[in-house]
Amino acid sequence: MSDGATRRDLIVVAGAGGFIGGALVRYFSDRGCERIRAVDKKPLAEWHQRSAAAECLRLDLSVEADCRRAVDGAAEVYNFAADMGGMGFIERFRIDCLRNVLINTHLIEAASAAGVARYFFASSACVYNTTLQSDPNVIALKESDAYPAMAERGYGWEKLMGEMFCQEYWAERGLKTAIARLHNVYGPHGSWDGGREKAPAAICRKVVEAVEEATGRIVIWGDGTATRSFTYIDDCVVGIDRITHCDALTATPVNLGSSELVSVDELASKVERIAGVQLEREYDPSAPKGVAGRNSDNTFIKQTLGWEPSTSLDAGLAATYQWIRAQYRARHV
């Protein structure tokens, strides 16, 4: 919580039915925050996780009136609300991703009008110039590499516009905004099937299926050479808290990601080791695969906060694999 804030101040988490939003609600609840309003348009039964300590509201935040209801009386607003998913979703549904601009447009205006003290916007590493990500041996991306702008079509451009809104609301209206560029967040309670899951969850699920169904094989999207860094959910929520409450980072985009770079093939091998198997791999070059390489340069966040995500990929994957295996087995009882 921010300096001067109390446990009685109302915190609003938009998109709380999703993976990161739900984790942040639990994070603040565990730290004694007494007033949390969790908002999402999905039916409550479809939320990734729910906290008994939170007031849970079903609202469509692309609608201006619902945004005003959501932020009424709030001291802090955290915006994760978006129609999004992994690469399979954001490459196929660019219009849906672009329409997320309605959410942030209405929500930040409502927050400003309501006198909210701090507003957090969940941006994405998809804002980075794609011409800098054409090689798996990518140089880690620093914050200034978003310009000159050449973001990923659809989702990336919407996030870049959201960042600009945050910067202008601070410059023109004095609303303290925080902007984190999230890098491939994963962990328990995330999407793991259905088309919205990201690579760590997708590969964990494929390995679980191969083991449980004794197929001996998995399908890898692309040729396995693409590289990424992956950020464990516990590190993500701590980083969001720290960034939001650091005045030196007001209206300043900052990377929130691990700098541990791995290829998709290496990611699959790590999951296989966790599962104690070695599987035959089939590669699907026609599947959505995104840029060739992307990694987070954490120089700025370390200089400013003296902190960076620290959970190793091996440790995070082990927890994620165990959780997904339990979900799979519960479904197939």
Active site positions, annotated: 155
Give one DSSP letter per residue of 152-210, joined into a string: PTTHHHHHHHHHHHHHHHHHHH--EEEEEEE--EE-TTS--STT---HHHHHHHHHHHH
Could you identify the residue written with the tokens 């929130």? 256
**Backbone phi and psi for residue 11, each to the nearest 5 degrees, phi listed first:** -105, 130
Q: ∠ CA 38-41-45 to the nearest 5 degrees?
A: 80
Q: Are strands 227-229 and 261-263 parallel, antiparallel or unpaired?
A: antiparallel
Q: Let me know: does 96 contact 138? Beta carbons within 8 Å.
A: no
Q: Are strands 217-221 and 280-284 parallel, antiparallel or unpaired?
A: parallel
Q: Which of 92, 223, 111, 259 is nearest to 173 (CA)?
A: 111
Burial call 44-67: b when 16+ CB within 10 Å, e when fewer? eeebbbbbebbebbebebbeeebb
Alpha-carbon distances, residue 331 vs 199, 200, 326 (angstroms): 21, 20, 9
Tokens of 148: 């000159």
Tokens of 99: 């329409």
Task: Give the three-state DSSP class for 121.
Answer: strand
CA distance 223 to 283: 6
Q: Let me know: does 37 contact 54? Beta carbons within 8 Å.
A: yes
N-term to C-term CA, the chain: 42
CA distance 122 to 256: 10
